[in-house]
Structure 1
Amino acid sequence: MKKIICLLLGLAGFAATLPAHAQSSTPQAVATTSGAVLQTNRRSTRRLGPLSYEDIIANLRGPISSMPSVRGIILDNENPAKFRIIASRSIEIDLTNLRERLNRPNANRSEELDKYIRVISLTVREYDPFKREALRVVIRTSAALNEFEQETAFGSDANILVRRPFIAGLEEVVVADSPTSIAFMPQSRLADLNLSADEAFVIGEANTAELARSARWFEENGLLVAELDGAYASSLLKVDGIWAGVSARLEAPVAIIIPNRERLVIGRANNADDIRKLGELATTETTGPHALTNKILVQNQGQWVEIP
């Protein structure tokens, strides 16, 4: 099952150390170094003075901060050689080897730092899930989304998500899907993809409709159950094209419950026994950290509404 990953990386526990190829790899450059330390030293004919970790970080901070998805840098108060980049994942940087290379006699400091920045940029892009083709939508509780935004704020930088109301207590939110995880999309990433919030929802719903082709449908205790990739069952409510077929299969208007994000259970809205079963399941299965709602939903003029 996929895990929701925090965009404030340290909280999510997905810290990723810069790979070993950072020592020599030279991917396409996206930023160059500048700063008084480098400019002064590389123009001097005398032996270069040693650079401290503070000097190195001062020259890295600007180029790193300008990379898409990077929200900031957190220094390690206990180890001056280390810092973390706050991006789509937490990227831990250890400057020990870089400092040793920079302080060698006749080192080309500008070239070494530019090379290092290029590798960091490649790593940031590699871990960035926010691409148009990866956008999806999910249904989550307003309380869970509020908590996520608060926990992933970075200083005064709020982490406001691309979200909108669905029904009472639930919201539709845009996410990015990867083979191992799902990431809530911050509004700050819309500009990187040249999208408005409405456009992100349109793309996310269209991609979710494609994903819905792989949904698993089966009968259980006289009801129809849908499961989709562990975390997307509730997203089927935003795929309008499937519900006419489901209603035809049941030969009745549909009533559904989404007690948690893993399962969507469907019965006949005009059948008292189905409504009873749905109500019992909603009561027993709306528990745990993935709980959504214990309400029974029906369609009214194309919109999902709660049964009073």
Structure 2
Amino acid sequence: MTAPIADQSAEQLPRPTRLSEVKGWFFTADQLLFDWFLAHQQDRSESGDLLELGAYMGKSAIFLGARLRPDERFTVCDLFDSPAEDASNSKEMRKSYATLTRRAFEANYLAFHDELPTIVQGLSSIVSDHVEPGSVRFAHIDASHLYEHVHGDILAVRELLTGSGVVVLDDYRAEHCPGVAAATWQAVANEGLRPICITGTKFYGTWGDPEPAQKALLEWMAARGDIWHEVQYVNDAPLIRLSAKGAEEPAQPVSRHRAVPAPRAAQRPSATRPAASGARPASRPPVPTRSTVRRVALDVLPPIVTRAIVRARKRARTR
């Protein structure tokens, strides 16, 4: 369902020169975890595609697209400019995403990548019509915040994930969207979703065995030394909680519009820097002598003053 950019030219849109300039909420801890999970899956030769439900302006999608392997497919599902089918969802769209357009998403994504992902424009409930069951290794859910929609998204993604696939749920604890929290922990309690770890904004889980990922994640964080973490237990199962304040960010996608630094102005060799072979060392401008200053003064002063100075100098020499 990928279509060309809408009628307005991309040249008229803002051109992000770095990921931080793209509107959205995608913090260092989650960038590190997205990067780690995708690399960990690759190290274990786990195959599968990538999926994102809810894209906003494309910040996390751009990041995921930079980790996409040549034989993989990346699908992004979002309403963009399409109207929602129910009044409550339409109200949320108007309140939270009034500036969201597919055109802006595409322009942002193409600032960092040569090709768009596969785009499904519509409710996240239709994603199962476009993605094969058991084909996704990593899914990010950040669409509607309403309980019934999030619950449906979780169930849909469960069918689309591979046996060891990872699902990420955004805003699982935000006070303005309790429906996400309700749907997340209901899936843990009743739908077999098993937590791996949590950050301040996202929940990471799987319907497979979380223990190998948790063990490898703890070893990685211990080796880094700049990520705070602890292990808690939920329903007798371990859950890693982590924070990455002050941690170094992972490699960022490179924009094709990145700013080019201005060339430095040519500088003369300094006194301590040896001159180029065969070249005369640069000399400082001569310091004016006392006689030079006098000659200049005589040239620029009025004649009456000049004659007075000359007479005074003659009298001084004859004394």
- Fold conserved between structures, TM > 0.5: no
TM-score (norm 2): 0.21
Q: Which of the pair has more CA radius of gyration?
A: 2
Q: Which has the higher contact order (CA 8 A, sep 6+)?
A: 2
Between Structure 1 and Structure 2, which shows a larger proportion of strand residues?
A: 1
